Chain A
């Protein structure tokens, strides 16, 4: 069965510091991977996705993620955090056998001055 694990339910960084949100997946077939962001009292918004091709994927708001098959990981990074990045972030997986996404439990990012 496919699954997604997000390490750390809460991450706190200083403004201007590197953001690193971790996501590991389990899948018996090549995965499609997604990162979503959720701002307070809103739905989820797609940040970036990996389907095929280049393993370093760039998304909106300066975020990027690298697909590492050997480590079964798809960590989300941003070189310099901004206050507006404070939100909850969800990693999600689809193995292409159906249209359903499997979500991780989320990581809440706090950005401090």
Chain B
């Protein structure tokens, strides 16, 4: 089975801290994505990457950055955490579009609370 692993299930951080959320996939997928999920808003795309060192902004990139130094790892960085970044963060991966269109494989999510 394809696995997408997010390093933490629950995190509590203080306002102003720099926060790293890590995601690793083991199926050699080209694409990786970070979403945040909030009640009533569904999933909103923060950033995605279609290759090592490549990244593109999603719909809500403000306050976030990403890093993809290796194909299997995609990190989301909150430069200075704020309370409005309290949310569930979901990482996903997929094959390059145009090949098997199986959609995404998701990690289990990281529930981040900023206090």
A100 is contacted by which of B9, B41, B58 (Cβ under 8 Å)? B58
Query: Chain A, 55-92, contact with B by CB distance < 8 Å: what is the 0/1 string?
Result: 00000000000000000000000000000000000101
Which chain A residue lies CB-closest to B41? A105
CB distance from A99 to the nearest CB of B (A): 4
**Interface range, B side:** 20 to 34
Whether the Cβ atoms of A43 and B108 lie closer than 8 Å is yes
Whether the Cβ atoms of B42 and A104 lie closer than 8 Å is yes
- B residues in contact (CB < 8 Å) with A: 4, 9, 31, 33, 35, 40-43, 45, 48, 50, 58, 90, 92, 94, 96-97, 101-109, 111
* Complex CA–CA separation, A103 to B40 (angstroms): 12
Inside 8 A of A41's CB, which chain B residues have their CB? Answer: 9, 108-109, 111
* Complex CA–CA separation, A45 to B94 (angstroms): 13
A–B pairs, 28, beta carbons within 8 Å: A34-B103, A36-B106, A41-B9, A43-B4, A43-B92, A43-B107, A43-B108, A44-B43, A44-B106, A45-B106, A46-B102, A46-B103, A49-B101, A90-B42, A90-B43, A92-B103, A94-B97, A94-B103, A99-B31, A99-B50, A99-B96, A100-B45, A100-B48, A100-B58, A101-B104, A103-B42, A105-B40, A105-B41
